[in-house]
Amino acid sequence: MFEIIPAIDLRDGRCVRLVQGDFDRATVYGDDPPTMARRWADAGAKRIHVVDLDGSKAGRPVQLPVIERTVAAVDVPVQLGGGIRSLPDVEAALAVGLDRVIVGTAAIEDPVFLDTALARFGERIVVGIDARDGMVAVRGWLDTSSVGALDLARDVAARGARTIVYTDIGQDGTLAGPNLDAMRGMAEAVPDVAVIASGGVGTLEHVLALAETGTLGVIVGKAIYAGTLDLRDAIERVAALSAPGSRA
């Protein structure tokens, strides 16, 4: 079933949202990440997505104590992205109770690390591909590489990655709607990989449109904080569409 995953982005221990990855365009939505996680779990979320924004810039996990408390606050799996670029980073993150970690920058800059992590931790390693105009962005979206997003996806799929989180930076935090063509193209490029979409979702209609692209889930952030998308309602609507005898 298509999965709707609420995001908690952490900066200085607080819940924030950025616009298009711009650290200078941050809105604070709460000072207590564990309470926020419980809010989303109580609304029906089956998984929580946490981003260590400080870790993305530092190149290593920075907020593991806060993340550990967040994991302990809920009974659903929690995944983490941001600054995971070495095996010790992976081990430290998983040690606080995370279900899986997302490798972004290191997937393109250190393929030996990615291969080793996939061999050792299997499906607990998710590859994050963040794209600006179809090209992979790295280091907390601060730099854009010369590698195409679809090329990287095919490469990591061939090396054993089973889940990809694909973020369209141009749409992220805008609420203007996801890049449906990009998400459909990614799902078609790696048909044996679970593609989770991210970026631009503002309404229930956006979620339902993504569910038709071949992606298997979506990460939602600003929309659920700004109130343009009701998480509980969205989860219930998607579940109803997936029920036997329903008409999509």
- In order, the DSSP letters of 17-71 are EEETTEEEEEEEEES-HHHHHHHHHHTT-S-EEEEEHHHHHHTS---HHHHHHHH
DSSP state of 96: T
What pLDDT is attached to residue 248? 46
Out of 52, 89, 130, 168, the active site residue is 130
Check if 133 is active-site.
no
Please state, in angstroms and rounded to a whole number, the distance separating the CA atoms of residues 201 and 152. Answer: 24
Q: What is the pLDDT along the chain (248 residues), one digit of tens a residue?
A: 899 999 999 999 999 877 766 666 678 888 899 999 999 999 999 999 999 999 988 989 999 999 999 999 999 999 999 989 999 999 999 999 999 999 988 888 899 999 999 999 999 999 999 998 899 987 766 677 889 999 999 999 999 999 999 998 888 777 899 999 999 999 999 999 999 999 999 999 999 999 999 999 999 999 999 999 999 999 999 999 877 665 54
Out of 9, 52, 54, 168, the active site residue is 9
What pLDDT is attached to residue 247? 52
What pLDDT is attached to residue 235? 98
Q: Which helix (H) or strand (E) holds 109?
A: helix 105-109
Check if 22 is active-site.
no
Q: Does domain 3-242 have CATH number 3.20.20.70?
A: yes
Identify the three-state secondary structure at position 217.
Answer: strand
pTM given for the model: 0.92
In the chain, what are the domain boundaries? 3-242
What pLDDT is attached to residue 191? 97
What pLDDT is attached to residue 21? 60
Identify the three-state secondary structure at position 172.
Answer: coil
Residue 95 makes CB contacts below 8 A (sequence gap 6+) with none
